[in-house]
Amino acid sequence: MNARVQRVRETVEAPLLVTNVTNVRYLTGFRSSNAAVLVERDRLRLFADFRYADAGRLVEGVEFEVTKRAIPADLAGRLAGRIAFEAVTLPYADYELLRAGGLELFPTKNVVEGLRAVKDEQEIAAIRRATELTNAAFERFAGERVIGRTERELAWRMDSALHELGAQGNAFPTIVATGPNAANPHTTPGDRVVERGHTVIVDAGAMLGGYCSDCTRTFAAGRLPDELRRAYDVCLRAQLAGVERVRPGMTGIEADRTARDVIDAAGLGEHFGHGLGHGVGLEVHELPRLSTESGETIEAGNVTSIEPGVYLPGVGGVRIEDLVVVREDGVQVLTSFTKELVTLD
């Protein structure tokens, strides 16, 4: 019996229509850009269009059915009765199609995502391999000359390192930010040139075996001015406090506070605008969230980032991020590249 599917059955009383393709993969192992699963009490039906028919028929433990390409419209004529659906994923237009077919629909939220948040040891091993590859890519990047080069060029160098080391893809588009751009947490690498005295934020991750890694380090381009050096020191203290203090049983808000208190005490709280971290797995942003807006509780088996930042508008920024596994007695850090400030020419 598929234990993941069984946990869904224990969570939702009615049949659950899963339309998030990452959740489809998590429950069945089936990879497709257009698929759905119906989890019923005694059946598990997998739906996909003709393009994926051969692959779908090879999936064990499911009843595979070929549909039209517009799966919700097709299912509106196949299904009947009371059906739960993924409210975050299903577009309203598709909801209307299903409802017009006579289905009694009721919303659910994060049923499968909540299961995905707690990784088994096989998943953790896959994330560890992706992280080890990313660690090696950062080691390579630390040998680069950065002054006089553009963010875009340096992002390409990081991407090249990831792929040369065996990544099957990027977990997300690599971020390289320098100068005032480094004060924008999720900027896009552009033509800004690294100058002496700038910080260079590099945020990158590998996709390997279907699982993601995520790491951020901030480098110094030559000697940093005192303001940025202090920002780095404060950010590092905050990051180390998070690694030391995050435990299962904490709320995501409490976990965020472990690092935020350090930055607040240094008078830089207004310059840390995002959360402390997020879950990582099949996707680079998963549950739980470690933030002031989190509604989750940290559990053993979560894999999360711990990534405080200090962003000084018009000046630059710092972010330091590790990927960790939450264990019963604290966290196990997967990221190994040094967090001491590395200065590059």
User: Residues 217-252: pLDDT tens digits?
Assistant: 999 999 999 999 999 999 999 999 999 999 999 999
Residues 6+ away with beta carbon under 8 Å from 117: 279, 281, 286, 287, 288, 296, 299, 301, 302
CA pair distance 52, 62, nearest whole angstrom: 14
Task: Return the number of other C-beta atoms located less than 10 Å from residue 166's C-beta.
Answer: 13
Percent of the chain surpassing pLDDT 90: 99
CA pair distance 222, 194, nearest whole angstrom: 10
Residues 31-47, mean pLDDT to the nearest whole number: 96
Residue range 121-344, CATH number: 3.90.230.10
Domains 3-116 and 121-344 share a fold: no
Predicted model pTM? 0.94
Residues 25-31, mean pLDDT to the nearest whole number: 96
The pLDDT of residue 306 is 98
Residues 126-143, mean pLDDT to the nearest whole number: 98
40-73 pLDDT per residue, tens = 999 999 999 999 999 999 999 999 999 999 999 9
Strand order in the sheet with 286-290: 286-290, 277-279, 303-306, 322-327, 330-333
Name the CATH architecture for the domain at 3-116: 3-Layer(aba) Sandwich (3.40)
293-323 pLDDT per residue, tens = 999 999 999 999 999 999 999 999 999 999 9
The pLDDT of residue 105 is 96
Burial class (CB in 10 A: 0-12, 13-18, 19+), 6: exposed
Burial class (CB in 10 A: 0-12, 13-18, 19+), 263: buried
Nearest alpha carbon to residue 293 among 305, 276, 272: 276
Please give the C-alpha separations between residue 343 and each of 51, 83, 146, 194, in angstroms, as whole numbers.
51, 57, 10, 13
β-pairing, 82-86 vs 104-108, is parallel
Say whether pLDDT at 1 is over 90: no
The pLDDT of residue 181 is 97
Say whether pLDDT at 91 is over 60: yes
CA pair distance 140, 301, nearest whole angstrom: 30
Cβ atoms of residues 245 and 260 within 8 Å: no
Q: Which residue has the tokens 């100068």?
A: 179
Instruction: Show me where the domains of the chain are located.
Output: 3-116, 121-344
